[in-house]
Structure 1
Amino acid sequence: MIDRRLLLGGALSLASTSLAGCYRGKMATAADGPRRLYEHEGQAISADVVVYGATPAGVMAALEVAESRASVVIVGGWREAHVGGMMSGGLGWTDFLDAKAFGGAALRTIKAVSRGGGEAGNRFSFKPSAAEAYFEYMLALKQVSVVYSRGVVGVTKTDRRITGFETADGLRVTGRVFVDASYEGDLLAAAGVGFQVGREAASPLNNLGGYRGATREGETSTHQFQIRGRSIVVDPFQRQGDQASGLLRGVAPGDQKPIGAADKAVQAYNFRLTMSNRPGLRIDLPSTPPPGYDRADYEVLFRYVAAIGQAGLKHGVDWSFADDLIYANDLGDGYFDVNARGGFSTDPVLLSWAYPTASYAEREVIWKRHESFIRGFFYALAWEKDARLPASLQQEVRQWGLAKDHYARPHANDSAGWPYQLYVREARRLDNGAMWSAADLDKDGAPRLSRAVALASYRQDSHLVQRIAVKGEHGWTIWNEGNFEQNSGGRDQRSILPLDIMLPHRDQATNLLAPFAVAASHQAFSAIRMEMTSMTLGQAAGAAAAMLCAPTRQADVQDVDYRTLREILVADGVVLDERNAVGMAELRGEQLIRKIKRRLG
């Protein structure tokens, strides 16, 4: 691996405040084991580079800075108590179209944590506990300090340069360069940087933009009311067949706005559950309803199940819970990554809309309402006394429980076995005038902006936004609006992503990068948000941030020397275009990966 110090000509400085004065007690090393991270015991910390958010992008950014002579600290964002975000907090599969689009730190990470060390079909499979152990081990190995907080509440700036921020628990953080790697973009918002939330209007650049109604362009049946390709009609009215009785809870009128109109709606979040259907491996879900449970929230689900039977489909023969009401991805050893599937599943609608800009107190309510809804989904199917639920279905659902060996160190407001991280599929996105569009993702040849720092290789994929009532050829039914899947990446299924999508307007901030909340349309972001791409953007953000810590000048991040940045990334095996994609990344870091896997057992 290239020595960043040599490439940067030894220009990076240790001049900033030493972290040793801010952390008391023994500093963890790799020999201490992956569970030993740093605990904050002071009221002020400082580093050359401050990474806000312990997400995969944040970890990659910090590890990249640690390769230089610049000092770095990770300050966990709101509610974070673990490193690794979704990869250690629930998600056990990460999707892609072309595995050769990824190299560098992202490839080393996925090889180290994946079952069998690689890909399965078009997904990398891993246990979240393995991802957490790997991230902790690497941070300890590189002596990167991690401090958890209750979220940023204020930012100080001199002219357009951020000098520091304060957290809700009174921590004061100062630095020279800042990386907002949070899922929510809280630091950039607090710094006065422009952002957008919601869906842009449909246009030639974003053909699936805005309100989608019941249009079928880009629509996928896997998130609709259907069973194995067969549409299921679900009556939307309080009294079935009676339009005057009003719509069921959670169902909106389908003619609310023109197709393609912009709005502030946000695709559904959920928790990716690590579960098992083996008695010895699972924590059984309760036979009592969760807090806040309201049977009316699941009337659409009960009608869906009833309509499946009325369509002549028999549970256990034509369909099942594990194949049609949830998406159970096999992680091996009896464990599954459970995601939403079908017309009504673990994706609650509408709860996500207010989350991106909500206060921390409001977010806590939204967070717990997601948990209660999903627990209620399992309770309703397994234990409700409703004649519409087949006994065989209830028995199947009761076989599923939370994994015993995951999430044993929960947040103070959570319980063991429940995933650490809410799946914030999309929140704030930078608004910097360089919005990356769906057309940009599909472009073959030279990209619109040329400073490539990562590739995306996944479908444009948005989960449902809301449920609407629509009248079709078989009468009134419920439709999941906002879901789409559309391939992207042009001929090679790879999309070039420029440095510019991580940078604020120069007149708003000159020392901040955002590797997750990037400047992209709702449609384009749905492909960029995937973990492999996010980690690669994090590595690029870390490399750029370290370069800006040279003592000779305080360069704006918008003026980072791209030629040097590219050399750093390509030398570490990061794939930026076809010229460095030919198997090169596969050769990087194999000895380190074997060593880490032995260390983690």
Structure 2
Amino acid sequence: MKNILLIALCLLMTVAVYGQYDLVIVGGTPGGIMAGIAAAKQGKTSVILERTNHIGGLPANGLGATDIATRGATTGLFAEFISRVKKHYVTTYGENSKQVKDCSEGFHFEPSVGESVLEQMLAEQKNITVLKMRQFDVLEKNITLYDDVIQSIRVLNRENGKTEEYKGKVFLDATYEGDLGAAAKIPFRLGREGKDEFGETGAGVVYKYWGGPEGEGTTFQGDNAVQSYNYRLCLTNNPANRVEIQKPLKYNREEYVSLIEDVWTGRHTGVQMLNVTEAMLEENRKHIAKGNPSKIPGDVWGIARLTNMVTLPNEKTDGNNQHMAFISTDLPEENWPWPTSGWAWRDAYAQRLRSYIEGLFWFAQNDKALPENFRKAAKEWGFAKDEYKDNGNFPRQVYVREGRRFEGEYFFTTKDATPTTPGQRPVVHPASITASHYAFDSHAVRKREPNRPHLDGFLSYPSQVYTVPYGVMVPKTVDNLLLPVPVSGSHIGFSTLRMEPCWMAIGQAAGIASALAIDSHVKVRNVDMKALQNKLLEQNATLIYYRDLQPADPDFKMAQTLGLLGYLPGWEAKLNEPVDQPTLALWEKLSNRKLAAEPGKTLRKEVLQNLFKNL
């Protein structure tokens, strides 16, 4: 113990303390930003330490097509972000403009707009300090942890090379990698659990046609494989705003040659291939040789062969990996070390990934082994000239789909987002901090393998709107640390939580929970759940989703509170309908009291309002 105190004392003598805050947030991701904003609304100070020169994480780096399956399932500060995006396009271009139409109610936006809106939201909160170019490294010397409480952390100022120390009452890991949690020695997982561990659909080694069944080679066994990363590209076919894609210095043609046969034959990884014969592929080759695009069902042509594009305002796209392709902008296998590597390795990989993607596009647009009409179609696209001006019009941040997954107070798996009965809800968590919804979605973990008709780990399975319990971001040890981004869950369970709307909502809850912990002088795991949920509802969060209710409705808070207690198990609250006898019997059982109501006449909301008053 004396040695630990002596080391800490020496560090204090050599490192300048740059501030004492209520919250110290590592990572300027949307999850971290919303945590700071939510805490500021409770009167708490925060510092956000962001490694790069830009805040915003992936929504500021190409992820402009918001990943959420049910709009309205996640609200709160995320909904405010979306409404501000729409307002930007309405104010800038007019309510009836194409830009407003293409922004899809604010769910689709340009990278620069995403960053700008997040910057505006931060600027409105005087209690938040944002410091960019601050790097946290997972080294023992960079964290002072005493008696299960983090006292301070140290970061590198990348602009002047100096080490800075920051003290706080609560610390938040809002990094995609989980670096702060790792430094605090919170147990974490990497790779894929096997199906034998939690009985999850899609767990372990899975070979699956996109949109189709599992195939040969599927074993469901666990391993250490990490799903692939890419960059979310902002592309345009507008000549006035298009930058031609250049051949990278480290171009390696051999990495892309398998694309040649794919293009000529139309072979892809989609479920349509189950009905495609070798004769059809050869016929397609002749068809393409005559100057036609591919006619194989499900096949796509030109640049779409390389990237799945969703329209954004101003003739731009969010270019993700092409789900139907054997090779695309993902670069599997090579990213496996990323979660636990230092920033020198990560930076090298980021450059390697950029070079690989630029080389892929240059190959598709210029290699003469490809059909001329394919190259011509591909060459219609390039990078948007008015995005990422300080980075050669290329995204600044790698799309880290999955890093460390910590083992928290609650471990989220597929059962938490899968209905036990078809059409019904998944399990409802009374300690819910948000509702959310996205498929169980993972990208490939391995590159193309000989004679495999699909890629290992590239999969999607349906889920249903679910509730997220507070425990997914609460570590079992360390009393003043929350993990709103590298949350607790299995590979497949995490694959639905990892969407930015959900991360924003978890971050919002983390900010409020931190404020409550500080004010109540309790450990973050002992925060009063009712108080946390009430504060979230005050900030227009949705804790349990109902199709017929929105946060602006006068009975929203009542329905949310009672819904988590089991009073409204269906997908609709139906507050203005008369209560029926079975429902009344359920409510009397749950409340353990006789209710003054007449089935078929008394409105459901009247009965619930009386119950709510007496909670």
TM over 0.5: yes
- The aligned residue for residue 261 of structure 1 is 221
Deviation at 1:324, TM superposition (A): 3.7
Cα separation, 2, equivalents of 1:579 and 1:299: 50
Question: Which of 446, 452, 456 does residue 432 from structure 2 map onto?
Answer: 452
Q: Which AA in structure 1 matches 2:415?
A: A
- The aligned residue for residue 371 of structure 2 is 390
Query: 1:153-232 residue pairs with structure 2 within 5 A?
Result: 153=138, 154-169=142-157, 170-203=163-196, 205-212=199-206, 214-215=207-208, 219-220=210-211
In terms of mean alpha carbon deviation, does 110-119 or 436-445 score higher?
110-119
Cα separation, 1, equivalents of 2:343 and 2:107: 33
Q: Which AA in structure 2 matches 1:145?
A: T
Identity %: 29
Question: Which of 260, 272, 276 does residue 232 from structure 2 map onto?
Answer: 272
- The aligned residue for residue 487 of structure 2 is 518
Question: Given the alignment of the two structures, is residue 422 of structure 1 paired with residue 398 of structure 2, yes or no?
Answer: yes
- The aligned residue for residue 374 of structure 1 is 357
Question: Given the alignment of the two structures, is residue 285 of structure 1 paired with residue 245 of structure 2, yes or no?
Answer: yes
Deviation at 1:446, TM superposition (A): 7.6
CA contact (8 A) 1:223 1:464 kept: no
Which protein, 1 or 2, shows the higher relative CO under an 8 Å CA cutoff with sep ≥ 6?
A: 1
CA contact (8 A) 1:93 1:123 kept: no
Deviation at 1:168, TM superposition (A): 3.1
Query: 1:401-550 residue pairs with structure 2 within 5 A?
Result: 401-409=382-390, 415-432=391-408, 434-443=410-419, 444=424, 447=427, 449-469=429-449, 476-489=451-464, 494-505=465-476, 508-550=477-519
- The aligned residue for residue 7 of structure 1 is none
CA pair 446-452 structure 1, distance change in 2 beyond 3 A: same
Cα separation, 2, equivalents of 1:449 and 1:174: 34
Deviation at 1:45, TM superposition (A): 2.2
Question: Which of 335, 359, 371 does residue 316 from structure 2 map onto?
Answer: 335
Cα separation, 1, equivalents of 2:452 and 2:148: 52
Cα separation, 2, equivalents of 1:57 and 1:587: 28
- Measured against aligned partners, the alpha-carbon deviations of 1:568-601 in whole angstroms (never above 9, x if no partner) come to 001221111146970225899xxxxxxxxxxxxx
- Measured against aligned partners, the alpha-carbon deviations of 1:527-547 in whole angstroms (never above 9, x if no partner) come to 111111110111000000111
Deviation at 1:374, TM superposition (A): 0.5
Higher strand share: 1
- Measured against aligned partners, the alpha-carbon deviations of 1:190-214 in whole angstroms (never above 9, x if no partner) come to 11111111111114541211111x3
Question: Which of 17, 36, 40 does residue 66 from structure 1 map onto?
Answer: 40
Cα separation, 2, equivalents of 1:422 and 1:406: 16
Query: 1:81-120 residue pairs with structure 2 within 5 A?
Result: 81-114=53-86
Deviation at 1:303, TM superposition (A): 2.7
- The aligned residue for residue 52 of structure 1 is 26
CA pair 580-118 structure 1, distance change in 2 beyond 3 A: farther
Query: 1:341-380 residue pairs with structure 2 within 5 A?
Result: 341=322, 342-343=324-325, 344-380=327-363
Cα separation, 2, equivalents of 1:50 and 1:73: 5
- Give the number of aligned pairs: 490
For structure 1, the 5+ residue unaligned runs are 1-40, 225-253, 410-414, 471-475, 589-601
Deviation at 1:223, TM superposition (A): 13
Cα separation, 2, equivalents of 1:368 and 1:223: 34
CA pair 440-446 structure 1, distance change in 2 beyond 3 A: closer
CA pair 179-223 structure 1, distance change in 2 beyond 3 A: farther
CA contact (8 A) 1:95 1:123 kept: no
Cα separation, 1, equivalents of 2:261 and 2:430: 52
Cα separation, 2, equivalents of 1:123 and 1:299: 39
- Measured against aligned partners, the alpha-carbon deviations of 1:147-190 in whole angstroms (never above 9, x if no partner) come to 12122342111111111111133121110101111111101101
Cα separation, 2, equivalents of 1:147 and 1:394: 44
Question: Given the alignment of the two structures, is residue 297 of structure 1 paired with residue 278 of structure 2, yes or no?
Answer: no
Cα separation, 2, equivalents of 1:84 and 1:222: 37
In terms of mean alpha carbon deviation, does 118-127 or 82-91 score higher?
118-127
Deviation at 1:46, TM superposition (A): 2.1
Deviation at 1:297, TM superposition (A): 1.1
- The aligned residue for residue 587 of structure 2 is none
- The aligned residue for residue 562 of structure 1 is 529
For structure 2, the 5+ residue unaligned runs are 1-14, 91-99, 158-162, 267-280, 556-615
CA contact (8 A) 2:229 2:398 kept: yes
CA contact (8 A) 1:351 1:370 kept: no
Q: Which AA in structure 1 matches 2:447?
A: R
- Measured against aligned partners, the alpha-carbon deviations of 1:53-98 in whole angstroms (never above 9, x if no partner) come to 0001111000011112221110114xx2211100011111012221
Deviation at 1:483, TM superposition (A): 1.1
Greater C-alpha radius of gyration:
2
Q: Secondary structure at the match of 1:168?
A: strand
Q: Which AA in structure 1 matches 2:402?
A: E
Q: Secondary structure at the match of 2:403?
A: coil
Cα separation, 1, equivalents of 2:129 and 2:173: 16
Q: Which AA in structure 1 matches 2:342?
A: S
CA pair 324-468 structure 1, distance change in 2 beyond 3 A: closer
Q: Which AA in structure 1 matches 2:79?
A: L
Higher helix share: 2
Cα separation, 2, equivalents of 1:579 and 1:461: 24
CA pair 566-446 structure 1, distance change in 2 beyond 3 A: farther
